[in-house]
Structure 1
């Protein structure tokens, strides 16, 4: 047995470990932290529950209760209205972070020549992540509140006759917080894609007489698609499941799918919360599937 083992070890040392051996640790981590928890959530979504206990039984009533009243097209149900509200916030946050993230990444990649300065500015973009998300959200309260700095400036300058209530605990403040928190997730992948663009292509476009806008739209944007899609996936998946930002910046007055799941969990309605989580996961996966159809991420990477 020892004689047979030594040649095998020698082959492994010379040619490397077999692929299945190298993939085993990653597979175990994937199973332990993704597949098994997801399977448990799906299983619990079909359980029954009373005020005192969970009953492991297969029943579709949690999904039926979730879509209760959705058959009436004249009056949208709570679930449909909540998903529309969540998708609205998701779209506004995605569009805002895309515009800001693309602009920042473009500036860092094409207008900052020094590598040291690029690194310094990139680190500067990550400074907000050195503090808690909740602290960063709360920091907007003294700025946007009724007696905050922004309202004082508006009233003091005569631009407004009274404090503006829509600045805080509103849809505006929720989107603003999303942009503040998640723009970096758009900057990083787009900047990475832009740094991989062959600069000779831009020089060739300039020699051909292309304007700056033509180069941006016909060269840089198409070659940055991979970064845009990856950044979009990051932002969309985070915003769709977020409940802390909407709760804090919306004054606990704005509904979202993540907020509904959080409330149901706090009331120990775990099967109903699990059913909503499965539905939310299905919606997010459909969005990601649609985005990945725009570009083959695995091929581009």
Structure 2
């Protein structure tokens, strides 16, 4: 009898303790949900709901006079009309190729500039105050709007701009260079100017977390500067490179203001097509193009996250 009672008495105090622990766990979970609720509401109201409405409108019919809320897939058929002909790409394919060209060039230049600037600030500037001052210099252009920063290039790159006048005055050219403004060069230049900081900041954050003893160990092992950079710094900076790449690619893919201003309204891009359709009140067609663009951007982001596991690296 005594042997049977002792285990029961031993387990009795544990039951209230377990119940109390479970209650505390539930309260903590409830508190977490309460804390996350405002941000979840904002996310749903300003992202999920508009995205759902865009998806719904993309399946509506429209004509020259009205939008008809009836289901149709014709808008998506129009987007991909003629795209199966490889010899003669359709308008959508040519537009995406043009946008991807700008995206690739902008990504390459911003990565080169961003990595160089971040490396200098992280490894060659010792003072934290000086690092903050240099970051402030990088963010000063953001004190003005994107349009003003783009327009500031026109007096420099125009036919009678400062660059052409200087080259003519030095005798290096006989007539003004036409391709400086309202060209692919001008669009890429503006994109790099506007988006480089989005590459600098995440790369610098990754470099700031690198243990400096790893750099010293590489030098002690006989590695050269380039070997240390390629085999130590670059692998440890991959999360920052991936995050910066996501920022730059998403911004360039959906941009239409930069292409319109710096391209002289003559260069096609996906964002520009959507903007023109919205101006013509072809909202279902614009919504279908926006959904396709979102899918393309998401595929690019998924591809980058497959190459680098951001959750593991961060």
1:249-282 Cα deviation digits (max 9, x unpaired):
0000000000000000000000000000000000
1:145 paired residue among 158, 163, 177: 158
2:133 paired residue among 114, 120, 126: 120
Q: Distance in 2 between the 1:291 and 1:148 partners?
A: 40
Q: Distance in 2 between the 1:243 and 1:202 partners?
A: 43
Q: Secondary structure at the match of 1:18?
A: helix
2:244 paired residue among 213, 231, 237: 231
- The equivalent residue for 2:220 is 207
Displacement of 1:19 in angstroms is 2.5
- The equivalent residue for 2:282 is 269
**Count of aligned pairs:** 294
Q: Distance in 2 between the 1:16 and 1:72 partners?
A: 55
Q: Distance in 2 between the 1:142 and 1:22 partners?
A: 51
Root-mean-square deviation (CA), in Å? Answer: 1.8
1:182 paired residue among 182, 190, 195: 195
1:69 partnered with 2:69: no
Q: Distance in 2 between the 1:152 and 1:168 partners?
A: 14
Runs of 4+, deviation exceeding 4 Å: 14-17
2:230 paired residue among 217, 226, 229: 217
Q: Distance in 1 between the 2:264 and 2:233 partners?
A: 41
Note closer, same or farther for the CA distance 1:11–1:76 as it changes in structure 2 (3 Å cut). closer
Q: Distance in 1 between the 2:95 and 2:121 partners?
A: 38
2:266 paired residue among 253, 258, 262: 253
Q: Distance in 2 between the 1:239 and 1:15 partners?
A: 42
Structure 1 range deviating more: 25-34 or 119-128 = 25-34
Structure 1 range deviating more: 55-64 or 28-37 = 28-37
- The equivalent residue for 1:4 is none
1:85 paired residue among 98, 111, 136: 98
1:20 partnered with 2:28: no
Structure 1 range deviating more: 104-113 or 27-36 = 27-36
Q: Distance in 1 between the 2:106 and 2:308 partners?
A: 22
1:244 partnered with 2:257: yes
Q: Distance in 2 between the 1:79 and 1:105 partners?
A: 37
Q: Secondary structure at the match of 2:268?
A: coil
What does 1:22-101 align with in structure 2 at a 5 Å threshold? Answer: 22-101=35-114
- The equivalent residue for 1:130 is 143
> Where in structure 1 are there 5+ consecutive unaligned residues?
1-6
Task: Tell me the TM-score normalised to structure 1 length.
Answer: 0.94
1:109 partnered with 2:125: no
Displacement of 1:202 in angstroms is 0.2
1:160 partnered with 2:173: yes
Structure 1 range deviating more: 182-191 or 154-163 = 154-163
1:59-86 Cα deviation digits (max 9, x unpaired):
0000111111222222111111000000
1:150-203 Cα deviation digits (max 9, x unpaired):
111111112211110011000000000000000000000000000000000000
- The equivalent residue for 1:300 is 313
